[in-house]
């Protein structure tokens, strides 16, 4: 049985989950003064599209992606993006940005009339796409991570990227089983 954050970790005073692998992304900045973390945004990502298990997502979030490796990557040249967490297909958890800082995951976005969702949200990337079922270990790790985050932050909702950027984003996609996540 794998260790999950709920069983074996907590968030430290600087916003890092004690049991997650840490890969600090430069793609973050301070949250606005007084911003309260109240939203959790779920994403999906695979690089190249539809391929899982490689290190290109990590490289993207660390600004180290060699855009000559794949034709799709030309559109990512100069992109500066990140998320707080990535859950790999096998359930491994990586943290790129401490929860205390603003990760650059949502882009132009709006939730219940509030724009700039990065200001008041945490972003979780799931290794996946719009055409593939997510793996059981991902759902297990996601549930455990949500439990830890709820103990620390007054989360009011869990939404998909598509919910806060409709028409622009589709993730986590039609194969994400929302019934497996306690969203309220």
- Give me the residue spans of the domains in the chain: 5-180
Per-residue confidence band for 56, with pLDDT thresholds at 50, 70 and 90: very high
Query: What is the pLDDT, as a whole number, of residue 182?
Result: 77
Q: Are 61 and 27 in contact (CB under 8 A)?
A: yes
Architecture per CATH, 5-180: 3-Layer(aba) Sandwich (3.40)
Tokens representing 149 are 């985050």
Q: Tell me the pairing of strands 114-115 and 110-111.
A: antiparallel
177 is catalytic: no
Which pLDDT tens digit goes with each residue over 106-121? 999 999 999 999 999 9
Exactly one of 36, 51, 115, 125 is catalytic; which is it?
125
For residue 18, pLDDT beyond 60: yes
For residue 96, pLDDT beyond 70: yes
| Strand residue runs (E) in the chain | 21-22, 28-30, 39-45, 85-87, 93-95, 101-103, 110-111, 114-115, 121-127, 157-160
Which pLDDT tens digit goes with each residue over 57-81? 999 999 999 999 999 999 999 999 9
Q: Are 23 and 94 in contact (CB under 8 A)?
A: yes
Which pLDDT tens digit goes with each residue over 21-39? 999 999 999 999 999 999 9
Query: What is the pLDDT, as a whole number, of residue 112?
Result: 96
**Rounded distance between C-alpha atoms, residue 19 and residue 89, angstroms:** 17
Per-residue confidence band for 9, with pLDDT thresholds at 50, 70 and 90: confident
- In percent, the amount of the chain with pLDDT more than 70 equals 95
Alpha helices in the chain (DSSP H): 5-8, 56-61, 136-152, 161-164
Q: Are 50 and 127 in contact (CB under 8 A)?
A: no
Query: What is the pLDDT, as a whole number, of residue 5?
Result: 41
Tokens representing 143 are 């549930």
pTM of the complete model:
0.94
């Amino acid at each position: 049985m794998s260790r999950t954050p709920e069983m074996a970790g907590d968030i430290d005073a600087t916003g890092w989950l004690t049991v997650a692998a840490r890969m600090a992304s430069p793609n973050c900045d301070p949250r606005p003064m007084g911003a309260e973390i109240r939203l959790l945004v779920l994403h999906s990502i695979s690089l190249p599209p539809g391929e899982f298990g490689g290190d290109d997502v990590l490289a993207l979030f660390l600004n180290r992606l060699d855009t000559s490796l794949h034709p799709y990557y030309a559109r990512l040249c100069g992109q500066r993006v990140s998320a707080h967490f990535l859950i790999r297909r096998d359930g491994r958890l990586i943290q790129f940005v401490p929860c205390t800082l603003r990760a650059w995951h949502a882009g132009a976005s709006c939730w219940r009339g509030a724009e700039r969702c990065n200001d008041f949200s945490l972003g979780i990337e799931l290794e996946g796409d719009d055409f593939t079922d997510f793996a059981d270990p991902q759902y297990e790790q996601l549930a455990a991570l949500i439990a830890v985050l709820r103990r620390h932050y007054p989360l009011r909702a869990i939404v998909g990227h598509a919910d806060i950027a409709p028409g622009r984003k589709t993730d986590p996609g039609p194969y994400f089983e929302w019934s497996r996540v306690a969203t309220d």
